[in-house]
Amino acid sequence: MSPTLRTPASRLSYDVLVFGPQLAGAVTAALLARRGYRVLMVAHGAAPTSYRDGAFLLPCGPTVLPPLKSMPVATAVLEELGLATDVLRALTPLTPPLQILGERLRLDLPRETGPRAEELARELGAAGAGAAEAIERLLQAEEADSPFFRLSPPLPAQGLLERWQLRRALAGQGGVEAGAALPNGDATLTRSLRELWHFGTFLWDEQPPSRASLRPLAQLLRGLSTYPRGLEGLAAEVRKRVTAAGGEVVEGDDEPPEIEELRLEGGRIAAAKLEGSPHEYRASLFVAATGAADLRDLLPASAGESKLAALLGGVKARSSLLTLNLVVGPNGLPAGLGPAALWLPARTDAPSIFVQVSPAQAASGSAPAGTHVVQLSRQVPAALFHQGEGHVKAVLQEMRAGASTFLPFVDRHVVFESSPHLQEESGLAARLRLHPLVEVGLPRQLGVTGLPFRPPCKNLVLASRDVLPGLGLEGELLAGTRAAQLVQKALPKKELLR
């Protein structure tokens, strides 16, 4: 079904036009709509969270989230939007929250301090006590730093005033910018925590550069929860609050709405042209909640050498998730395998695989009782997706072969296998960018920051995970709230919707 553009004939001009599929943009749009501004939200670049293949409806990627209660900004946003009860009720805590699987390791990581210490001691022996203490210090640091992030500090700080404000905020919370290292004492555990950290952040690094950059790992260690359709499902739920507050949302079921081009005049965005619409959509301010490369593609050819294009070109996608779905029949899962696990291959230089187990869903009707989907997800170089289907299939086969290490006898139980990255007919493969890790060629602040909120374009504000990639999901939420604040400062005050 193609997107339907329902635009009132009396209004093609808005206070703010937010475009992009990311959660930060949905947060910005929903907050501004609720605060009385005329908002148009275009879910440009959105990809589906599930797809049909054979007789099954399969997930495109993992649907787990860290506990939102551990992020002060998440609590504040959900409460203001009236979503706290519904979202927290839809989160399903995983039991056990996470398993670490290796050639000589089978470790559960309970949320509670005591059981976690007992499990580490059971699996690691004498090294377990030191590992438990190191993890506990990591969690305590994350909790101690939360008041700093609750105040939405000006990150990344731009200009003398914001830099002074940041220094002032750090004066009372100096530990957040201290150097940091992963808990050590056991090489396999340290490796597993590094790999888990990569699943929590959006910034490419071999090791966490600061205490602040360890926050995504600490949040994952507090426990995992599933959310319907994962991060994208949460963004869709927030987008509903845009229309509930009187704003407009342009989105489609099967084919995502796309902006054809941003028209620039005099160093500012004059209008956006949407595919399938004869109109130009104007706004006082534009908010981009899309990846840097996608935003650069929307600029006219004449802006190819501009400062804005150069800034966006400094963000390089280093890797993203490749996923494989294995549908297994009844009795196909080994005893003891939980709903989420991190598998460490025997080769220490090989990337880990995140494993999520969920009940199978039929494309129509009901799936056979006891049937499950085992989804394997692995970070692969971004270049892989440009090397052709053969290269993608080779890595998928490698993942499939490795699964036999922790899924013994799985071959006889697999009834179907599929990857969303091979779904070319629907265009799904070209649109998927699951949990990208980016490299940002800019000086860092606290080891976590990326693109500035206010790029060299007079009426453009950035609200994407490229702004605070080192803080993972929390950074995306902070980017959304900060962008809303900047828009409010630039526009006349409005009456809050109650």
Same-domain check for residues 394 and 368: yes
My answer on whether 408 and 454 are in the same domain is no
- 437 lies in some domain: no
Distance of CA 158 to the CA centre of its chain: 25
| Alpha carbon separation from 182 to 128, 193, 209, 394, 476 (Å, rounded) | 15, 7, 10, 32, 23
Check pLDDT > 50 for residue 476.
Answer: yes
| pLDDT value, residue 439 | 95
Question: How far is 75 from 84, CA to CA, in rounded Å?
Answer: 7
pLDDT at 168 over 60: yes
For residues 267 and 369, membership in a common domain is answered with no
With a pLDDT cut of 70, the percent of the chain lying above it is: 95
Q: Would the pLDDT of 215 be above 80? A: yes
Determine the 3-state secondary structure of 205 from DSSP: coil
Please say which residue of 431, 462, 479 terminates a domain: 431
pLDDT-derived band at 450 (thresholds 50, 70, 90) equals: very high
Residue 428 confidence (pLDDT) = 80
If asked whether residues 219 and 278 sit together in one domain, one would say: no
Indicate whether 82 belongs to any domain.
no
d(CA 210, CA 161): 24
Identity of the residue numbered 355: V
At 244-290, the pLDDT tens digits run 999 999 876 566 678 999 999 989 999 999 988 888 999 999 999 99
The tens digit of pLDDT for each residue in 47-76 reads: 888 999 999 999 999 999 999 988 999 999
**Of 235, 237, 221, nearest in space to 94 by CA:** 221
Q: Is residue 260 part of a domain?
A: yes
Flag whether 324 is in a domain: yes
Is residue 74 one of the residues assigned to a domain?
Answer: no
Last residue of a domain, one of 174, 201, 223: 223
- The answer to whether residue 101 scores a pLDDT higher than 60 is yes
Q: In terms of pLDDT, which residue wins out, 493 or 395?
A: 395
Query: Do residues 299 and 447 share a domain?
Result: yes
Torsion of CA 244, 248, 250, 254, to 10 degrees: 20
* Per-residue exposure over 51-75, b if at least 16 CB sit within 10 Å of its own CB, e if not: bbbeebbbbbbbbbbbbbbbbbbbb
- Same domain assignment for residues 244 and 213: no
Q: What is the pLDDT confidence band of residue 2, given thresholds at 50, 70 and 90?
A: very low
Question: Does 352 or 276 have the greater pLDDT score?
Answer: 352
> What local confidence, expressed as pLDDT, does residue 252 receive?
66
**Given this model, what pLDDT does residue 497 score?**
54
* pLDDT value of residue 6: 46
What is the band of 455 on the pLDDT scale with cuts at 50, 70, 90?
A: very high
Average pLDDT of the segment spanning 428-455 = 90
At residue 150, the pLDDT reads 84
Name the phi and psi angles at 150, rounded to 5.
Answer: -65, -30
| Mean pLDDT over each residue of the chain, to the nearest integer | 89
pLDDT-based confidence at 1, cuts 50/70/90? very low
Q: State which of 388, 403, 431 marks the end of a domain.
A: 431
396 and 457 within one domain: no
H helix intervals, 199-252: 215-221, 230-244
When pLDDT is averaged across residues 108-134 and rounded to a whole number, the result is: 90
Query: CA 31 to CA 239: how far, in whole Å?
Result: 10
Q: In which element (H, E) is residue 486 found? A: helix 472-490
Q: Please indicate, yes or no, whether residues 404 and 341 belong to a single structural domain of this protein.
A: yes
Encode pLDDT of 410-431 as tens digits. Answer: 788 899 999 999 997 667 877 8
pLDDT value for 10: 38
Number of domains the chain is built from: 3
Q: Quick one: pLDDT band at residue 3, thresholds 50, 70, 90?
A: very low
Per-residue pLDDT of 178-194, as tens digits, reads: 888 887 767 888 888 99
Whether residue 129 is contained in a domain is answered as yes
In this structure, what CATH number is given to the domain that contains residue 485?
3.50.50.60
Average pLDDT estimate for 71-93: 94
Q: What is the DSSP secondary-structure string of 247-259? A: -EEE--SSS---E
453 pLDDT above the threshold of 90 = yes
411 and 447 co-located in one domain: no
Tell me: the pLDDT tens digits for 354-409? 999 999 999 888 888 889 999 999 999 999 998 989 999 999 999 988 888 888 77
Structural domain containing residue 21: 13-50+229-313+442-490
Whether 191 and 146 map to the same domain: the answer is: yes
Q: What is the mean pLDDT of residues 153-157?
A: 87
104 pLDDT band, cuts 50/70/90, is confident
pLDDT for 426 equals 66
Whether 87 maps to a domain, the answer reads: no
User: What is the rounded distance in angstroms from the CA atom of residue 433 to the CA atom of residue 384?
Assistant: 12
Supply the DSSP symbol for 394: H
* Distances in whole angstroms, Cα of residue 6 to Cα of each of 48, 227, 437: 21, 30, 35
Q: For the chain, percent helix, then strand, then coil, each to nearest 5? A: 40, 20, 40
Residue 47 has φ and ψ, to the nearest 5°, of -120, 150
How many CB atoms sit inside 10 A of residue 168's CB? 10
Residues 409 and 475 in one domain: no
Residue 456: per-residue pLDDT: 94
Q: Are residues 386 and 483 in the same domain?
A: no
Per the domain annotation, does 61 fall within a domain? no
